[in-house]
Amino acid sequence: MQATGISAAELADRRGRLLEHARDVGLTGVVLFDQAYIQYHTGFSFLSNERPIAFAQSVAGETAVFVPEFEVERTREEAAFDRIESYPEYPGVEHPMLVWARVLDDLGLRGRIGVDSDGYPGILGYQGPPLSEVTGAAVEPLSDFIEGRMRRKSPAEIELIRRSARWCEHAHRLLQRYSVPGATEAEASLHAGYEATLAMLEALGPDYAGQLGSQDGATAGYRGQIGRRSAWAHAVAHNITFREGDMLVTETAAPVWGYNAELERGMVVGTPTDEQRQLHEHVVSAQEVAFDAFRPGVTCADVDRAVTDYFAANDLLPLWRQHTGHAIGLRNHEAPFLDVGDHTPVEPGMVFTIEPGVYREGLGGFRHSDTIAVTEEGIEILTDYPRDLESLTIPA
């Protein structure tokens, strides 16, 4: 397989475990349509659109990828499948799923086939028949098994997330430098992204790919979380000018071979008020509560409960808006969630964001997000950026 940051041996091991599961439950093979699942098992990355792409492996071990013809040459160059099968175009004279059904039959996939979904999902106008219909096979869901594997990251995966964290930090430093009163959200964010990406590409060299498709590199910005809009945890970018007194909530991204860390900070423009200072301190304390809650044997719900207990004890529940965090890896949000309703046991190798926040309508929001990896003993904090208000105050 191509250079992906994840070794060919580790990719083979992932496929081996999936096949072992397939054999255990009596399947003739597996078929994957989901982009992240295919990348996880093969290292092959692509742009999802209305033209279906799929991966299959028989229990005998033979691998096949299914791509539109125009992807064949790139696939041959960038990946290593036993078979590269293709169709001329979607929708085409013959529907691609009929071509794929013949390939699967030829691979020996019939009777009972494991799938992540019963056919290609309706991305960007795609329409097509279920896989069970075109193959005549019974399809058994694989997603729970795959998600169970993906949520425990290997040392190699954690190392890529750690490298992503370094570039999130660099992009954030630049964002903070360019976020000055009178500048706009777009100016600060574009300037930071420009410089951080060039530095990242320079450092990582010509073999690096973020594997996000259109654009590699690092980004940092606000997504509209400026001033009173920072109280809206998922605001949408607007063309906003920084002003004294604004509370700010940042975001960053810097995928390294597809893997993501998350780093976010609450900041303030100009001398903080007492209220801003207090809310900021509570957010840092709530993060500490979450860090400390990662003891062997806890569940995701336990961690979130510890944080909501802290907020309750400090009369902050009216300012609470979101659970403590989410898992992160090849996808920038993934299950499990640090949420009172998610009773998944916490296990070593899981990677989470820790981002308890408080949001006061009319004033704004305060949220720091750091990325942590669960270890045998507790946690390792993968992101490294100041959390104290002095370091996060923008002079006005």
Which residues, numbered 46-65, are part of the site for a second copy (CB under 8 A)? 46-47, 49-50
3-state secondary structure of 147: helix
Q: Which two tokens stand for residue 184?
A: 């706009």
Sequence length of the chain is: 396
CB of 390 to a second copy, least distance (A): 28
Return the residues of window 339-358 that contact a second copy according to CB under 8 A: 339-342
Spell out, one character per residue from 21 to 50, where the chain touches a second copy: x when CB under 8 A holds, - when not.
Answer: ------------------------xxx-xx
Find the part of the chain contacting a second copy (CB under 8 A) among 24-32, 170-178, 223-231, 274-282: 223-231
Q: Where are the beta strands (DSSP E) in the chain?
A: 29-32, 54-58, 63-68, 83-87, 112-115, 138-141, 219-221, 247-249, 251-253, 266-269, 325-327, 334-338, 351-354, 357-360, 364-367, 370-374, 379-381, 393-394
CB of 325 to a second copy, least distance (A): 12
> Of the two residues 159 and 216, which places its CB atom closer to a second copy in the complex?
216
Q: Rule CB under 8 A: is residue 367 a binding residue for a second copy?
A: no
With the CA atoms of 189, 191, 192 and 193 taken in that order, what torsion angle do they form, in degrees rounded to the nearest 10? 80
Contact 394, 270 (CB under 8 A): yes
CB of 216 to a second copy, least distance (A): 5
With the CA atoms of 94, 95, 98 and 103 taken in that order, what torsion angle do they form, in degrees rounded to the nearest 10? 90
Find the part of the chain contacting a second copy (CB under 8 A) among 24-32, 66-74, 153-161, 348-356: 66-74
Q: Rule CB under 8 A: is residue 71 a binding residue for a second copy?
A: yes
Q: Which two tokens stand for residue 384?
A: 């490294």
Q: Rule CB under 8 A: is residue 371 a binding residue for a second copy?
A: no
Q: Which residue has the tokens 């370091």?
A: 391
Spell out, one character per residue from 315 to 334, where the chain touches a second copy: x when CB under 8 A holds, - when not.
Answer: ------xxx--xx---xxxx
Contact 161, 255 (CB under 8 A): no
Spell out, one character per residue from 258 to 297, where the chain touches a second copy: x when CB under 8 A holds, - when not.
Answer: ----------------------------------------
